[in-house]
Chain A
Amino acid sequence: MAKLLDKQRYKCALGSMQTVQAIERAIPILHSGPGCAQKLADGNGSSGYFSPNIFPCTSINEKDVVFGGVKKLHSTIENSLKVIDADLYVVLTGCIPEIVGDDSGEVVSEFADADKPVIYAPTAGFKGNNYKGHEQIIDAIIDQYLKKTDNKEKGLVNIWADVPYQDLYWLGNLRALENLIKEIGLTPNTIFGYERGIKNVDKIASAEFNLLVSPWVSVKNMKKMEKKLGIPYLHYNTLPIGAFETSKFLREVGKFAGVDEKKVEDVITEHEKYYYYLIERFADLFLENRVINKQFTVVADAQYALGITKFLTNDLGLVPAKQFVTDDTPKEYREAITEEFKKLNYGLEAEVSFETDGYKIHEEIKSHDYHGYPLVLGGYYDREVTEDLKGNFLNISWPVKDKIVLNDAIVGYEGGIRLIEDIYTVASQRFN
């Protein structure tokens, strides 16, 4: 049912054109109105090899609404193959063709023999948000492109995390996860970002297992791959940020993959030594400032709400106030995620609310007693309310207007350090 979406923090399923965009040399072909791509684009790293304003689009008009747009879709795909130099063409349908009943899948199947692969994902805006659209794209790749193989590559692990572009640190985070996996002797395979592309998509089926690092996004994709391609998966629901969580993450992945325990412990020891070398030098600043208090709130998708809550609690010793998950998490995952928020050091439990109505979130933040200046990590919308409460604000979730991220990451040991730098950069600009 339609609902009041006040201060919205996600896009529609067609927003997953950004998931396609994150696969190097893959291009979305939009069967939609003329302006959907522009609207769903962000100015955050979008002028790569392809940019949203050059995505081919059928630009549906009134006539197409009445008579159907399949002919236009056909000519758009046909000419995209001629005009655009890509490795993978992904047709995405918007609201209009799905309401008027264009058989887009049928049109796409006419290109089965094209020189380059053309696949199709139904991503009408009313089908869900861009987190679900992201899953649709991966499903399309599994169903229409990948083939099962018995030829497994030893130690090859596909890594999946949250939604590119929606997550401002997506690029750096994936690279950081790859590096961690590499350090314990496994071979990471991801499909998003620099020089991954179709060659890595082609490797997916040969992996020994899938590693999903997300509270819920792509769980369905993992199940599908397990069933269809025979790839088992490890679902690790907490994005590891900082030493405490990252060491835990490495141990669990190592155990699942059967990596020698000592090897994992050596990697952890080396990292923790350097991590605490840095922390020790700045511990005075963390303790002896007049700005940062103990209680914090994260307003973000499940990935960051959970990951950052664990980091700030288990690593930095802060105390969670209420946390807000804003990605419209499907009901079936909520209980497990809620439980995860209760697994914090010293028996601490964070209360979490799955809330898409920004007004209600702000009312709750305003009415909560933070016993001092609140620390809020959230979307740009949450800046003003935090400032009104004389709190400290960091823009870590969509929409992001306060920060430009080229390849920074907040995952892993170094990622935790980055996040600390950002939090205390905000704090250092104030004095109370």
Chain B
Amino acid sequence: MATNLNSSNVATRENRIGSITGYIGSLKDLASQSECGTLKGCSRCFSQSSSCLSMCALGQLSAIRDVAIIHHGPAGCSVAGAGTYYLDKVMAKKRGVTNDTVYVGTDMNENDTIFGSTEALRKIILEVNKRYSPKAIFVSSSCATGIIGEDIDSIVDEVKEEIDVPVIAVHCEGFKSRIWATGFDVSDHAVLSGIVKPPREGIKSNKINFKNFYESARPEIIEMFKEFDLEPTFLYCNSTVEELSHISEAVATTCICGTLGNYLGNVLEEKYGVPYVRSINQCGIVGFEAWLREIGKVTGRSEKIEKYIEEQRAIYLPKIEEVKKELKGLTAVLGMGPGYTFEVSRVLDELGIKVVWALAWHYDKKYENGDVPPSMKYLLDNNIDFEASVADQQNFEVMNILNKYKPDLYLSRHPGSTVWAIKNGTPSVYVADEYMIFGYKHTLEFAYTILDSIRNRSFEENLAKRTKLPYTDWWYKQNVGKFLVQDKT
């Protein structure tokens, strides 16, 4: 991969790493076709709404403390500012810090789409800087500004002369990628090109960059890493601009979700030689140990890590074996981003739960370094296979599958998905917290959450009995891939 940090644009996942959003088949077929380069995605002639990449991009950036996001577009684009305001306040409070990040819009109207509004944008940037003195300013485009050709790069270049903190253009046209995770890359690109500085001379660091979402396991990870003489820098929730400017000095980069972290990890490695920890992720026992060992290898701390693994195994493995007895034989369908679907599938296999169908919201054929994602490789190497599809949260496809397979359990990681499963009467586990299956302790908790979810099905039953599902009988009789159309290229 050759990254160009001089351009404010980052290529979409589709173009950069051949990501797709439409596929139906099996895990083995998906993986082997990716390996030999024959995998082609499909589009849909009928689809339901999904996500906008700007939510991922600006959601990440607006979690940084004391910055400003200026979302140049109609009021609907910047509406995420309301959620951001709330999240920033509660997340900062939880950490015992303050966060005065602002996320504003420009309320673009019809005249602006005809005559342009770069001058108004210039004034808005200056006014925001005057009001809040942010530590960095991110100026984002939207679909509307992108189509009318509003040149936000030039405006940003102009105002840079009047503002003494980084001002960074962020390109968030929602139509440019069907893969919202492209937004994660957009945010990483903005941080890498506008904030991260080359390592300072003579700085010796024991810091490890830890890319995550909401740092819910922060205290315990800090404790654990202390034993290895490592200090995690959690990104980007509650990060400071100062912290971010030095992430090039870390001993390694790791992430909680490959989809979230691979752009940052790869570019830091490529530009500054910061090793990127490539392994299956921390979910489950196998994943956690593989990840720790890879960190040991990359940072030269294998001995300490082996000792830790041994201690923890003694505490947790017997307990996990105990709960596994009750889970054995259950069947599950899951729908998550690819950074989790193939990881959680592995954990379910470890717990003795049979995955009958796994949906990934998108699929990256290759990671930035050209390899097949490690989670896929693990499943293949261990001869684990199941039916699989790629669907960008297409709920009607999920429901078609649940209706046909009637699994004991549905697991999802995205809002608005599990509710449909329970209306179908299928007990569901909402795996929203990225640390829900992290390491020994949370794998044990996860196993018990599953057990509790299927032990008391009252809520699902009560609701399902009284609700009518919105899909027609016709749809339930169709093949799940009814609306897929093979892409031409």
Listed in ascending order, the chain A residues whose CB lies under 8 Å from chain B are 1-8, 10-15, 27, 30, 33-41, 43, 46-47, 49-62, 64-65, 72, 75-76, 78-80, 82-86, 94-96, 99-100, 124-130, 356, 359, 380-381, 384, 398-399, 401
Does the CB pair A2–B121 fall under 8 Å?
Answer: yes
With a CB–CB cut-off of 8 A, which chain A residues contact B107?
A: 2-3, 5, 8, 356
With a CB–CB cut-off of 8 A, which chain B residues contact A86?
A: 470
Q: Which single member of B76, B102, B120, B175 contacts A96 (CB below 8 Å)?
A: B175
Does the CB pair B52–A126 fall under 8 Å?
Answer: no
Q: Which single member of B45, B80, B102, B106 contacts A2 (CB below 8 Å)?
A: B106
Q: Shortest beta-carbon distance, A390 to chain B, in Å? A: 18
Does the CB pair A34–B470 fall under 8 Å?
Answer: no
Q: In the assembly, what is the distance between CA of A356 and CA of B78, in Å?
A: 14
Q: In the assembly, what is the distance between CA of A38 and CA of B417, in Å?
A: 12
Q: Shortest beta-carbon distance, B186 to chain A, in Å? A: 13
Q: Shortest beta-carbon distance, B195 to chain A, in Å? A: 23
With a CB–CB cut-off of 8 A, which chain B residues contact A356?
A: 107
Those 10 A-B pairs whose CB atoms lie nearest each other, nearest first:
A35-B52, A12-B76, A125-B74, A79-B46, A37-B49, A33-B174, A57-B49, A53-B416, A5-B105, A2-B117
Q: Shortest beta-carbon distance, A99 to chain B, in Å? A: 5
Does the CB pair B105–A35 fall under 8 Å?
Answer: no
With a CB–CB cut-off of 8 A, which chain A residues contact B128?
A: 4, 6
Chain A residue at minimum C-beta to C-beta distance from B142: A95
Q: Shortest beta-carbon distance, B472 to chain A, in Å? A: 5
Q: Of residues B45, B111, B117, B393, which shows the largest number of chain A Cβ atoms within 10 Å of its Cβ?
A: B45
Q: In the assembly, what is the distance between CA of A382 and CA of B111, in Å?
A: 31
With a CB–CB cut-off of 8 A, which chain B residues contact A384?
A: 89
Q: Of residues A4, A11, A129, which shows the largest number of chain B Cβ atoms within 10 Å of its Cβ?
A: A4
**Is B153 interfacial (CB-CB < 8 Å)?**
no
Q: Shortest beta-carbon distance, B452 to chain A, in Å? A: 22
Name 28 A/B residue pairs within 8 A (Cβ), A-sorted: A1-B111, A1-B117, A2-B112, A3-B107, A6-B102, A33-B143, A33-B175, A34-B175, A39-B77, A53-B48, A53-B417, A54-B48, A54-B470, A76-B47, A79-B483, A82-B474, A83-B472, A84-B471, A84-B472, A99-B148, A125-B74, A127-B110, A128-B109, A359-B131, A380-B82, A381-B85, A399-B82, A399-B86
Q: In the assembly, what is the distance between CA of A121 and CA of B44, in Å?
A: 24
Q: In the assembly, what is the distance between CA of A6 and CA of B103, in Å?
A: 7
Chain B residue at minimum C-beta to C-beta distance from A1: B120
Q: In the assembly, what is the distance between CA of A27 and CA of B471, in Å?
A: 12
Does the CB pair A39–B144 fall under 8 Å?
Answer: no
Does the CB pair A35–B180 fall under 8 Å?
Answer: yes
Does the CB pair B102–A12 fall under 8 Å?
Answer: no
Contact string, B53-79, partner A, CB cutoff 8 A, digits 1/0?
111000000000000000011111111
Does the CB pair A38–B49 fall under 8 Å?
Answer: yes
Chain A residue at minimum C-beta to C-beta distance from B176: A62
Q: In the assembly, what is the distance between CA of A57 and CA of B49, in Å?
A: 5
Say yes or no: A50-B470 contact (C-beta < 8 A), given A35-B52, A126-B108.
yes
Does the CB pair A12–B475 fall under 8 Å?
Answer: no
Q: In the assembly, what is the distance between CA of A15 and CA of B77, in Å?
A: 11
With a CB–CB cut-off of 8 A, which chain B residues contact A36?
A: 49, 52, 76, 174
Q: Of residues A13, A50, A65, which shows the largest number of chain B Cβ atoms within 10 Å of its Cβ?
A: A65
Chain B residue at minimum C-beta to C-beta distance from A98: B113
Does the CB pair B78–A5 fall under 8 Å?
Answer: yes
Q: In the assembly, what is the distance between CA of A127 and CA of B144, in Å?
A: 12
Known: A2-B112, A2-B117, A49-B470. 13 other contacts (CB 8 A): A2-B124, A8-B81, A34-B47, A35-B51, A35-B54, A47-B416, A51-B416, A59-B49, A64-B175, A95-B113, A126-B112, A126-B144, A399-B83
Does the CB pair A39–B79 fall under 8 Å?
Answer: yes
**Is B354 interfacial (CB-CB < 8 Å)?**
no
Chain A residue at minimum C-beta to C-beta distance from B120: A2
Q: In the assembly, what is the distance between CA of A292 and CA of B419, in Å?
A: 41
Contact string, B261-297, partner A, CB cutoff 8 A, digits 1/0?
0000000000000000000000000000000000000
Does the CB pair A5–B419 fall under 8 Å?
Answer: no
Q: In the assembly, what is the distance between CA of A129 and CA of B112, in Å?
A: 15
Q: Shortest beta-carbon distance, B377 to chain A, in Å? A: 30
With a CB–CB cut-off of 8 A, which chain B residues contact A61?
A: 175-176, 178
Say yes or no: A55-B396 contact (C-beta < 8 A), given A84-B470, A86-B470, A359-B131.
no
Does the CB pair A8–B105 fall under 8 Å?
Answer: yes
Does the CB pair B55–A35 fall under 8 Å?
Answer: yes
**Is B50 interfacial (CB-CB < 8 Å)?**
yes
**Is B322 interfacial (CB-CB < 8 Å)?**
no
With a CB–CB cut-off of 8 A, which chain A residues contact B124?
A: 2-4
Q: In the assembly, what is the distance between CA of A170 and CA of B147, in Å?
A: 36
Does the CB pair A33–B52 fall under 8 Å?
Answer: yes
Q: In the assembly, what is the distance between CA of A138 and CA of B106, in Å?
A: 27
Does the CB pair B75–A12 fall under 8 Å?
Answer: yes
Q: In the assembly, what is the distance between CA of A78 and CA of B102, in Å?
A: 42
